[in-house]
Amino acid sequence: MTIVSAFLVPGNPLPMLRPDNEPWAPIVAGYKTAAESLSASRPDVIVAYSTQWLAVLDQLWQTRPRLTGLHVDENWYEYGDLEFDIAIDTPLAQACVRAAGDIGVKSKEVDYDGFPIDTGTIVMSKFFAPSAELPFVLAANNLYHDWELTAKLGAVAARTASQQGKRVAIVGVGGLSGSIFRSEINIKADRIATENDDAWNRRLLDTLESGNMNAVKTMIPDYVGAAKPDMGLKHLAWVLGACEGKISGADVLAYGPVYGSGAAVVEFTL
C-alpha cells in the first residue's frame, strides 16, 4: 500500500469562516497542522469522502478535471460564501468507478459544469489544497451504504490508487456528536451541547489515540446510539477501510464545539 497519511476532519464551515471566534480557533489551528503534515507526506493524490455529499441511487465519484465556483451553505449562509477551486485525478476516479463495480457496488461518474459541491468537501479542500495544488478523488456518501460497505469502498479506492503507483493521503470529512443548538447562541460561548456528548466524544478520541482499532469498531454501535454522530461516523469507516489495518495510533490535533456539535481534527499514525 502507498498510503502516506490519513486524517479525520470536520466539514462544518463555521471555524473557517470565523477563525477569530475563540471556541472555534483550535479547530482552525488543528486543521492547519494537519495540512502541514499532509504536505510533508508528499502525496500524489488526496482520496476523500465527505458525509455531506449525499447520494441515493448509486455510488458517485467526481471525474471532472477541475471544479470551481461559489457555494452558499444551506445552514450557515449568513456567515459568508465559500469559493472553491478543486483539481480531480480523473484517471484514478474513473478507475475507482470500475473497481467499485467489481465488488458489486454500482457507481457513476459525475462530470458536468455547475455540479453542487458540498460544504464539507469545500472546507477540507481549502485547508489541504486551497489553490488546487494537489488533485483529489472525491467519493459520495450513499445513504444506503452502511459502515461495512463504506469501509470496503475506502479499501477499493486505496488499492486502486496503489495499483497506479500513487502516494495517497486518505481523508474522512465529517463531525462527531450531532446535537446542535436549535436557537441562536452567543458563538463566543459555544460548547458541546451536552456533557454526555462530550464524554462519548472524548472516549472515542482516546480509543483512537490508543491505536486499538478493534476496540474502536466494537464501541461504534454504542457511540452512534449515544452521541448521534454525523451519518453514523461513516467517514471514519472510510479511513479505517482504506488503511486496512495499517493504523497504529492517532494524534488528536484539535477537539471542540461547533454550535453545540462535536468536531475533531485527527491525524492517524500509520
Q: Where are the domains of the chain?
A: 3-269
Alpha carbon distance 16, 130 (integer Å): 12
Place of cell 455547475: 114
User: pTM for the complete prediction?
Assistant: 0.97
> What is the enclosing helix (H) or strand (E) of 237?
helix 234-243
- The grid coordinates listed for 54 are 449525499
Alpha carbon distance 75, 209 (integer Å): 32
Alpha carbon distance 215, 208 (integer Å): 9
- The grid coordinates listed for 114 are 455547475
Is-contact 51 234, C-beta < 8 A? yes
Alpha carbon distance 238, 73 (integer Å): 24
3-269 fold: Protocatechuate 4,5-dioxygenase; Chain B (3.40.830)
- CB-count exposure of residue 246 (10 Å: 0-12, 13-18, 19+): middle
pLDDT per residue rounded down to tens, the chain (270 residues) = 589 999 999 999 999 999 999 999 999 999 999 999 999 999 999 999 999 999 999 999 999 999 999 999 999 999 999 999 999 999 999 999 999 999 999 999 999 999 999 999 999 999 999 999 999 999 999 999 999 999 999 999 999 999 999 999 999 999 999 999 999 999 999 999 999 999 999 999 999 999 999 999 999 999 999 999 999 999 999 999 999 889 999 999 999 999 999 999 999 999
The 3-class secondary structure across 110-134, one letter per residue, is ECCCCCCCCHHHHHHHHHHCCCCCC
**Termini Cα distance of the chain:** 11
